[in-house]
Chain A
């Protein structure tokens, strides 16, 4: 029994924390909100120098050849400072898929650049007024000679304005789903969408007879469903760790404040109403942390069904818990917690950002139920309609 991050992973965490402390923690996000993305770029370069962008990229593609668990400290530390950007989408979605399904040409084109911190990929899945159900994908691709032509609209694309490439979910003429790598291009029509979490940018991309070379197909035709299913396992394991990082910071903030803030001649942390609330926050944090560690661990150690049970439960629990913790943190801080002056609101908004990202808690609970075989004999139509992601 050894259920903990190892010494190397903890040491790497301490480097990251030191660095992110040095650059002012949430200062990067706050500048980003003001429209100054400079500091963010500098910090991402700094993190790349520390090796954060090379972790799970194979050595032959100039990475460090490490695994999903090695990403855990990075996600947690980024979550602690509500760092903007699409590190998650890049490292925990694009990289595992490129590594496993990418052509040699695609790997050479993307992976070394990602490792060096020069490229980041986003994910274009959702379409206007649709949910994540795969049967709702309408964005179409057709083959014309040596090119693929895409038509359709994608929305809520994370950081569409500065992603270097997108993995786009499309439907092809055989009515199957496929994934296409679309490089950023100034001609591409991107409309920014306002986001309550202003430390994240969202965009709506309109593909109008948009042509990319055939070599940009990721995996084979009609393989999209499998790839997405596999990709979101990695992504949600990583996301769980990001959420844990945010939760840890929030528990730390509440604890610190309860120790220094005095009312009625006592630090408020002495009152059980406050103390017990913070303890319940801590309980949720530790549960989420254990679930998320385990989720990342299963990605390389267990079979698909175990992975699904581990990842979906971590994701569902952590999403709900982060919202709860971020909310309690505001309440414990009292009036000052309601202001923009201190960080409480940043965490709440980030928690809500992820609430429905790539599916809701409800969706993931249903997926978990399927993974655990709780509805094997299920035949009612009602249920099928609720199946998301697998719904194809």
Chain B
């Protein structure tokens, strides 16, 4: 066992820290982390941040050097996340482009696709979203009905996508559409398209989430156009491409675990300062008991992530154990946020600037419900762990 990091890795961390100090948006490190409220300004702000990262050589650190990356090792990528969480850096607007689409195209895109898309991803010029889920195809993704039909040299795409994160800000979409039907194996006959969002056949409608934010979208496709050149991999074999694309996410849920760690520390700090009826809540033994049990669970989750990471480093790729990390971090985040709500008692219902401790807990609480659903629900994660880690029989219907 060895938790130390090498001299090179430490140098990497220092280089990044220095760079962040010089390049984070004005006032950010001092605590002014407000993002623009206006949607257009918000997008401009985050695209600019992506471009700043790119110019500093931090735009897509795990990519090959020839595409603007720095061929970072897995450990360097972990350090990158730790540092980004430490300074609470602005969110990555082009997460899908950097972590999924870019690496997939670098690995298996055509020369033309590489030429056309890759540089624009890393610079933030083009923001990507993914078009997977549909109203009747969430956890059962292979049930998608959006169709792509060939008319002349065009593919005409019709249907509806939903839960498309950043869809309203995106220029491009990595889209799954049905190109033929295979009644027995419904995941066959799906093709992956690189779709232009800036066309008349694509209409996005933001969905207001329960936390008041609008990150998700419904995307309506009415004779949206794509060409053969926009197909990734082979016709009807998009399922395979999608699976490969998910595997490009080398570090899995790491950033969320580091965020959870920070949340826990913030939670303890907040509780230390918080009083009810003039008495510090930390004096309440039941509060300490609860905190202690959260401590064990978040440390356990983090250490477990390190143990899984160790096997990723040895095997060169993550295994199904990453579902354990996803399940742990999302469920724990929800519980911790729920505890912070309860702790504030009747005043816990006060929101935004009236929140008794910090509105972050109320926001976190509401947002946490999305975390146990998005990216595969907790139930789907449990199926994956049950079947692929423990070897239990496949779920009914599959």
Contact = CB atoms under 8 A, between A and B. Distances in A.
Interface in B294-350: 295-297, 299-301, 303-304, 306-307, 309-311, 313, 324, 327-328
A42 interface: no
A129 interface: no
A259 B296 CA distance: 31
Nearest to B327: A283
Interface in A358-392: 362, 364-366, 368-369, 372, 374-375, 377-378, 380, 382-383, 386
Contacts of B393: 258-259, 266-267, 269-270
Nearest to A320: B293
A293 interface: yes
Interface in B353-388: 379, 382-383, 385-387
A288 B300 contact: yes
B11 interface: no
A243 to B, nearest CB: 13
A313 B285 contact: no
Contact of A69 (B1, B283, B299, B324): B1
A282 B282 contact: no
A374 B395 CA distance: 45
Interface string B245-289: 000000000000000000000001000100000001011010011
B291 A287 contact: no
Interface stretch (A113-121, A156-164, A216-224, A272-280): A272-280
Contacts of A110: none
B292 interface: yes
B310 A255 contact: no
A206 interface: no
Contacts of A259: 391-393
Given A269-B392, A279-B390, A365-B288, A3 B307 contact: yes
Contact of B383 (A266, A275, A293): A275
B268 A386 contact: no
A258 B392 contact: yes
Nearest to A366: B288
Interface in A316-357: 316-317
A251 B324 CA distance: 15
Given A287-B300, A287-B328, A275 B307 contact: no
B2 interface: yes
B301 A278 contact: no
A139 interface: no
B396 A1 contact: no
A290 interface: yes
B394 interface: yes
- Interface bin, chain B: 35 or more
Contact of A1 (B282, B313, B324): B313
A126 B292 CA distance: 25
Q: Is the interface of A mostly helix, strand, loop or mixed?
A: helix
A368 B2 contact: no
A291 B299 contact: yes
B283 A1 contact: no
A369 B268 CA distance: 11
Contact of B296 (A269, A280, A313): A313
Contacts of A362: 289
Contacts of B385: 279, 282-283
A292 to B, nearest CB: 10
Contact of B5 (A1, A69, A310): A1
B307 A255 contact: no
B396 A374 contact: no
A314 B328 CA distance: 17
B389 interface: yes
Contacts of A276: 379, 382, 386
B75 interface: yes
A290 B300 contact: yes
A225 B59 CA distance: 55
B83 to A, nearest CB: 16
Contacts of B389: 282
A297 interface: yes
A290 B391 CA distance: 21
B70 to A, nearest CB: 19
Given A1-B5, A255-B391, A290 B386 contact: no
Contacts of B304: 286-287, 289-290
Contacts of A12: none
Contacts of A369: 288, 291-292
7 contacts: A2-B310, A3-B306, A267-B393, A279-B327, A279-B382, A283-B324, A286-B307
| Shortest Cβ-Cβ A-B pairs, 6 listed | A287-B300, A365-B292, A290-B303, A317-B296, A313-B296, A269-B392
